[in-house]
Amino acid sequence: MLFDKKSRRLRENLKKFSKKRLDLDKFVKDIYVDNGLAYISCNVTGFYDIIDRLSVDGYEWINGHFARFVEQNANYIPTEYPIVLEICGHRFTKAQQEAIEETIADYYALKMGDTQMALEKNKGRAIFLAVMAALFAIFVYGTSRLTGAAMGVLVEVVFILFWVFVWELADCLLFDRRDLLEARTEAAQLASVKVTFREQFEDEPVKPSEEKAIIREIFEDDVILPSDEWKN
């Protein structure tokens, strides 16, 4: 009897949990978004919380823990919102601020470059598959009128190969390329991140005039350049 009551209670709990829902869009906007900008705020104790200690001056690389923190938060932010990365908790020198901004910009520009190269490979693969499908289609059409048991088997094999290339082409264009385009958009969002510095975190958005300036700065150029070219 006791077991039956416990089992019934557990089933009722399971039903209650299965009915719970979360308004993810509202949840995300309440945490990250204010007006037209999304904010990722982090608290650091020094320069090497952001920059890898193995880096040399002028060729800094991002700290892996810091990059993961930024990317895990960015995963929840809709890609239509520009991101402001607020770095709080430490007073950086002007040189350190410039190094941090350039390192973050270059790191995510390279990430965006990876997605662009993947898209180029996807395009090349799609062209190859389309050509092979067309060749097998021509071969099927040319041999379909031939008779004989051996030719019948050959036509069947070629017909199967034709559909293999067609399905691979459809998968390449409809699924792989769509995922890659989404990944490139997400990478572009991070490559365009605006870095700000605060000695102490304050839970308030930037002023409207600053917000407009940030949005204008982020969308000013379609081409993202390495930091050395920005300096020049």
**pLDDT at position 223:** 63
Q: How much of the chain is in helix, strand and coil states, percent to nearest 5? A: 65, 10, 25
**pLDDT at position 77:** 92
Q: Please give the Cα distance from 189 to 105 (Å, whole number).
A: 11
Q: Please give the Cα distance from 185 to 191 (Å, whole number).
A: 10
Q: 148: which residues sit within 8 A by CB, 6+ positions away?
A: none
Domain boundaries, the chain: 23-231
CA-based nearest residue to 71, from 60, 85, 58: 85
**pLDDT at position 232:** 45
| DSSP E strand boundaries for 89-208 | 194-198
**pLDDT at position 231:** 46
201: its two tokens: 């975190």
**pLDDT at position 148:** 54
**pLDDT at position 121:** 95
**pLDDT at position 226:** 64
**pLDDT at position 229:** 46
Using alpha carbons only, give the angle 48, 54, 56 rounded to the nearest 5 degrees.
Answer: 95
- Positive or negative, the Cα torsion across 222, 226, 227, 230? negative
pLDDT mean by block of 10 residues, the chain; 232 residues: 65 77 76 87 95 93 96 92 94 95 94 94 95 87 63 75 91 92 92 92 75 77 60 46
